[in-house]
Amino acid sequence: MAASMCDVFSFCVGVAGPARVAVEVRFVSSAKGKGLFATQLIRKGETIFVERPLVAAQFLWNALYRYRACDHCLRALEKAEENAQRLTGNPGQVLPHPELCTVRQDLHQSCPHCQVTYCSAECRLAAAEQYHQILCPGPSQDDPAHPLNKLQEAWRSVHYPPETASIMLMARMVATVKQAKDKDRWIRLFSQFCNKTANEEEEIVHKLLGDKFKGQLELLRRLFTEALYEEALSQWFTPDGFRSLFALVGTNGQGIGTSSLSQWVHACDALELKPQDREQLDAFIDQLYKDIEAATGEFLNCEGSGLFVLQSCCNHSCVPNAETSFPENNFLLHVTALEDIKPGEEICISYLDCCQRERSRHSRHKILRENYLFVCSCPKCLAEADEPNMTSEEEEEEEEEEGEPEVLGLSPEQRPGRNSPLLPPASPHFSTLSAGE
């Protein structure tokens, strides 16, 4: 049951806009599945399309640790100064140029029944219309015996930071279908995402849950069924179906990061100042990030993940010609050209971060095989085909110092730092795979 092209483009912001003209989805091969191709010249720096997710959800540990985000679009809810105070552990931290903070707390609204917070009336209504009527726990929000709270606690007990997925993304998929008048349309949309073999699915679940994944997966399935069973989706609640759903989220969830502080920093960078004032402001911000690193470490963002239909058609390349980002400080994903893209050329993003892309071909393939179960044949990998199949000593030392690469989570390189070009890049680590890749 395949989704139509109208469905595939229906989550682009401004459906009648340039995306329908600039790109098209084509079948590439049985190995790669679908791909996204330019139908006209796209210039370097142009936004190819902007897309909202089918569903998105904040990571559960991230929310528990008071990274306050809109429950629907993940927009950061703290003012930049509040954000800086929490991250530095200094309640007296003051930011210059407070007028540059874009957070509008006067627009925030809460669900009248469970009190979850939204950035606006629009997000509160959008959530209520799509899935929140099913998921709202009402006055049982803090009741540990509520089925959804039991499910979330079980998830947190088996999936620790750095987080890479959320059981609530799956819950919102089910709730969306349960609430929908046209259930078949939503089932078609979710079916767009890649399917894996049983062995591949087990590898993905093992990566997410660890060595005891079989018992943990069954516990989660039982609690998931208790909280959300829907007859129209009965296959999703079987052992095989739940494993497939879990693998779908694990491989197709696109990382989302938002930060009011990073928005403020970028606004500061755009200020026209006298040289002395610029030097003072830059020094202040550099010291602020050092203080945050000392107090909080690398976890700066409100973090979550979402499922994006059109972006999921973008295949991987170690030399991508496009990149994803979230410059609007919410779940709206922008895909931007890194170079001129000719008509007929495939639009590729990278599932690896900048540092990983500079590693040897062998190391890149190792990361991609372990996390996405495919071998890359991009121009860079083909050009380096004669390289020895081994990880360099320097790379081995880096991995030993850093531990396992955070391939399935937001790595330090993907978090908004002093020099991040856009707020903040999506994590390509658990980006998307086309069907069959």
Q: Which of the two residues, 192 and 227, has the higher pLDDT score?
A: 227
* pLDDT value for 218: 94
Provide the 3-class DSSP secondary structure of residue 377. coil
First to last CA, the chain: 19
DSSP 434: -
* pLDDT at 142 > cutoff 80: yes
Summarize pLDDT for 392-421 with one digit per residue, the tens: 555 555 555 444 434 333 333 333 333 332
Band of pLDDT at residue 368, cut at 50, 70 and 90: confident
Q: Which of the two residues, 202 and 52, has the higher pLDDT score?
A: 52
* pLDDT value for 409: 36
* pLDDT value for 424: 32
Whether residue 162 contacts residue 403, with contact meaning beta carbons closer than 8 Å, is answered with no
Summarize pLDDT for 291-313 with one digit per residue, the tens: 999 999 888 999 999 999 999 99
SS (H, E, C) 30-71: CCCEEEEEECCCECCCCEEEEECCCEEEECHHHHHCCCCECC
Mean pLDDT across the stretch 221-247? 94
* pLDDT value for 322: 97
- What's the Cα-to-Cα distance from 177 to each of 74, 118, 229, rounded to whole Å? 21, 22, 11
Q: Give the range among 18-32, 206-220, 394-408 with minimum mean pLDDT.
A: 394-408
Summarize pLDDT for 34-78 with one digit per residue, the tens: 899 999 999 999 999 999 999 999 999 999 999 999 999 999 999
* pLDDT at 217 > cutoff 60: yes
* pLDDT at 435 > cutoff 50: no
Whether residue 346 contacts residue 36, with contact meaning beta carbons closer than 8 Å, is answered with yes
* pLDDT at 338 > cutoff 70: yes
Q: Which of the two residues, 403 and 181, has the higher pLDDT score?
A: 181
Band of pLDDT at residue 134, cut at 50, 70 and 90: very high
* pLDDT value for 419: 33
Mean pLDDT across the stretch 378-395? 76
* pLDDT value for 269: 97
H helix or E strand, kind and range, residue 305:
strand 302-307
Summarize pLDDT for 250-292 with one digit per residue, the tens: 888 999 999 999 999 999 999 999 999 999 999 999 999 999 9
Rounded to the nearest integer, the mean pLDDT of the chain is 85
* pLDDT value for 410: 33
Distance CA 176, CA 184 (A): 11
Distance CA 425, CA 420 (A): 8
Distance CA 30, CA 28 (A): 7
Strands 348-349 and 315-316: parallel
Mean pLDDT across the stretch 78-93? 97
Cite the DSSP H helix spans in 56-195.
60-64, 80-88, 121-127, 133-135, 147-158, 167-179, 183-190
* pLDDT value for 429: 31
* pLDDT value for 395: 54
Band of pLDDT at residue 147, cut at 50, 70 and 90: very high
Q: Which of the two residues, 434 and 44, has the higher pLDDT score?
A: 44
Distance CA 23, CA 67 (A): 36
Distance CA 171, CA 190 (A): 13
Query: In CATH, what is the architecture of 5-54+308-430?
Result: Beta Complex (2.170)
Residue from 219, 235, 76 nearest 150 by CA: 219
* pLDDT value for 30: 76
- Residue 280: partners with Cβ closer than 8 Å, 6 or more residues away: none
* pLDDT at 436 > cutoff 50: no
- Residue 91: partners with Cβ closer than 8 Å, 6 or more residues away: 85
* pLDDT value for 398: 55
Phi, psi of 262 (to 5 degrees): -65, -35
Mean pLDDT across the stretch 224-228? 97
- pTM of the entire predicted model: 0.85
Q: Would you kindly state where each structural domain of the chain is located, as residue ranges? A: 5-54+308-430
